[in-house]
Every structure is written in C-alpha cells, then in structure tokens.
Structure 1
C-alpha cells in the first residue's frame, strides 16, 4: 500500500497547527477541572463544618452536603466542556430529556426521595427514636434518602421506603419525655376492691421508676359478667416504660396471690345455635 509522503506531511502540519491553536483552551479547561475539583472538596468540607457547628441534624447535614457536592460537580462539568468548545445548549437539552425519561421510569424512587426530604425537614422522628410505622416497631438506626433503617427488638434490620412511611401513620414512642402504661386487672367479685387498689398503689409507690408526678391512678374500669376490671395507670420516663410495665404486672400478681385476691381468668362467651 502506497502512502503519499506529502499527504502525511500536510496532515501532520495541519494537526500541529490546530493543536497549537487549541492548546490554550485545552490547558485552561483542564486547569479549571482540577482546580474546581479541589475547590469543591474544600467548600464541601467547610459547609459540613458550618452545619455541624450550628448543630443541625446529622442526617440533614449529610444530605445537604451531598446535594451541594453533586450540584457543584455538574456545574463544573458544564464549564469544563464549554471551555473545550463543545456546545452546551444541546448537551443541556440531552440532559433534560434523559432526566425526564429517568423520572418517568423511577416514579417510585422519586416518591421515596420526596418522602425522605419530608422526614428530614419536618423531623417526625430522629435517629435513636423508637417508632412504629407500616406495622413495623423498632429503633431508628439510619435515615437515608430513599429508605429508613429500623432495628427491631429481636435485632432484625428492616428497611422501610420513605414514600410510604412519610404518607402513613407514624407512632413515635421517644418524642415525649414521659409515657403512661395502661394496664387492666380483672379480679373476682369476691375480692375486696379497696384492698386490691391499696395493694397496687403501694406497689407503684415503692417502684423508683414509677413517676409520682403525674401521680399513678387505680380505678374501677368496668363491671363485667365475670369480673371487676381495675385500670392501672402508672407514668414513667420513656426509657423506663418497658421495665415499669412488666414489673407492675409481676409485682401485682405476686401481691394478689399473697393477699388472697383472685385474678379472674378471661371467659369467652360462645353463642350456641338454637335447636
């Protein structure tokens, strides 16, 4: 195969001429890229420190810092290709079309993203709170952009999509400082009501984890066909709620047995068809 040396020489000469003319733009573009990446890293660290210093929520701090990081990177990339001489208007149009297509195909993910924004901004719960949502009870381990991570009492990890979580009912057991335990004891009609109430109040008074303000209450809740129902309402710090609940049940049962107060078993009524 014959190659004309003059053609090669002309091509090399033209290439060298274009390269020399274009090299300032090329050098300045890469300078902007490298300096911009370094500046973005410094700005991101500075913004994180400012938000931490102002004691913003850690999840919100990370989320805003990540959003800022990617916005600055996109702006830097557009500036970089513009400096290279690439037409940015068509590039932006392509990005817009791609964004629309991705948005339509990821509607569920966008819903979860919006839900995560609502949770982070309005704070119905925080990391460390014990909540119940979508039928799941557990402690919030992490609030991510798309999902919330819960640790259940039996140490299982559950990820709940933020979209359904933010649009559903959320019970936050840690938001308030105090919680009230609602217990019911059914005693027989042969038992002394006053004696039973005094026993329960004595047990609650002796428990250091039961708050005395508000004072615990014991009263007759209902008179059924088979038993007298006593409502027991002790208050406790949210962290002590589970302990107070179980200790009250156990201590009352022990005291009732010692005092001869009979706890009436639950009697289920069964309807019989007429003969």
Structure 2
C-alpha cells in the first residue's frame, strides 16, 4: 500500500514538473512583459506630462489626460499579460463590458458629473484662482476635479459643486475682466440738495486710492420714490479690492453726509391697503 502511494506521488510530481517545464516559457515571458510594460508606462507617462508642460497646456487638463492615458495603458498591458498566460481574453473582455454597462447604469449621476468635468476642462468657463458665482454660492476656485469643483468662500468654507449641474447652469466669472463695478445705493431725504450730495460722493470716490480712474466712477439719481431719493454710487476697483472698497465708500459717504447735515432716509414700509 505504501509502495503504491509513493509511486502515485512520484507520478504526480513528474507530471507537475513536466507541466511546469512546458508552461514556464509562457510564464516567464508573461511576467517579463508585465515588468517591462509597467516600466515603459511610467516612462511614457512622464514623457507625456513633460510634453504637455512644454506646450503650456492647462494644468488640470494635463493631469486629466495623463491619468486617462495611464489607465488605458494599464488595461492594455493587463489584457496582454493574461493573453500571454494562455487565458482566453474574449470572454474576459465580454465580462468587463457587461460589468462596465452595469456600473454605468448605476452611476448615471457620476457619469453626468464626469462629462461636466470634461466640458469645464476643455472649454474653460473658469480657471483655478477665479472667483465665480454658481448654484447660488460665491467662492474662489481652488481645484477642478473630474467629478466636482472645489470653491473656497469668503468666510473660508469649502464648497463642492458637482460638475454636472455646474456645467449646465449659469456661471458668473468675476475674474475674467480683472475688475468689478461696485453698485451701492443711498436713500436720501427729499430735503437733500441732490447736486451737493452727488459732488460729495464723487469727492469720496476720487479720494479713495483703490477706486479706478478708468472706467470713471459714476453717481446718479436712480429713482424718486414716495419716501426718498435713491442715489446710485458706482465705483470700479480691482477684484481683490472689491470688499474693502465697498465698505470704505459706504463709511466715507455716511461720514460726509453727516458732516453736511444730509439725512439718510430710513426704509419706510408701505402701509397695507
């Protein structure tokens, strides 16, 4: 009995060694292709990134294209590797296709965000560093990812907007022109000398160092209501000075009006009929 077991074991070992010897060229060549391929992909990825930097492509677009190319090359290398091992690739590709379809159907929202990210990267309605208003929020763009765009608000809150709705919605980019107009309104009493008030406001704007001379600041009568004279004040300033100039103009005009005895008309609610 023991002699039979030893004989069977010896036969299994001989068969295993024979199969290993017969299969070893495929195994060695497959792993050789794998290691060489991974090294080549790394070199190609670095070369592509270097070329895109030399061509001065947008950094977000460069990173996205490099990542897509990297994963395509990896998938092709994996298919080549298993094909070299003797595994039938047609059924494997069919399984991947079915799995991709199932994942695509379950991730329709994510695919929409992916497509939106592609549109934003390609058509560039805004860039990193721009201040934009979209989907009811205002912030500075810090990162454009494939699925979401990251903003930082004025109070340092991080806002993530899905690229799908962002690319299909209205986007106001405050940074393209490099400057913004400030729209302020003062409601003054009807006893006010309008000419004097306009001269005082113009003086305030001309004296402010951050108010641009071109385009020229404007002050005009916006409306005459039942309760007050609405004076529109419209200075221009660079984007980065928008907040401080708005505050300074309001403060300086209020001080000038108080010194001249000009009454700022408080808001009066209409009487219900």
Question: What is the CA distance between 1:92 and its match in structure 2?
Answer: 0.5
1:126 alignment partner in structure 2: 127
Normalised TM-score (structure 2): 0.96
Match of 1:13? 14
Separation in 1 of the partners of 2:162 and 2:235? 35
Measured after TM superposition, the shift of residue 10 of structure 1 is: 2.3
Q: What do residues 214-268 of structure 1 show as CA deviations (whole Å, max 9, x unaligned)?
A: 1111111111111111111111111222222111111111111111111111111
Which residue of 1 is the match for residue 25 of structure 2? 24
- Written as runs of structure 1 = structure 2, the 5 A alignment for 1:178-217 is 178-217=179-218
Matched, 1:41 2:22: no
Give the match for residue 115 of structure 2: 114
Deviations 1:158-199 (A, max 9, x none): 211111111111121112212111111111111111100111
State how far apart, in whole Å, the 2-side matches of 1:200 and 1:111 are: 50
Q: Deviations over 1:85-118 (max 9, x none)?
A: 1111111111000000110111111111111111
Alignment of 1:117-266 (within 5 A): 117-266=118-267
TM-fit CA distance, 1:7: 2.4
Partner SS, residue 233 of structure 2: strand
Tell me, in whole angstroms, the C-alpha distance in 2 between the residues paired with 1:196 and 1:270: 29
C-alpha distance in structure 1 between counterparts of 2:82 and 2:177, whole Å: 53
Q: CA–CA distance in 1 between the matches of 2:221 and 2:101?
A: 63
Partner Cα distance (1:215, 1:22) in 2: 83
In the alignment, structure 1 residue 84 sits paired with structure 2 residue 92 = no
Distance in structure 2 (CA, Å) of the matches to 1:209 and 1:189: 31
Shift of 1:270: 2.5
- Count of matched residue positions in the alignment of Structure 1 and Structure 2: 272
Mapped to 1, the partners of 2:30 and 2:123 lie a distance apart of 42
Alpha-carbon RMSD across the aligned residues, in angstroms, is: 1.4
SS of the residue corresponding to residue 26 of structure 1 reads helix
SS in 2 for 1:229: strand
- Quick one: distance in 1 between partners of 2:7 and 2:176? 83
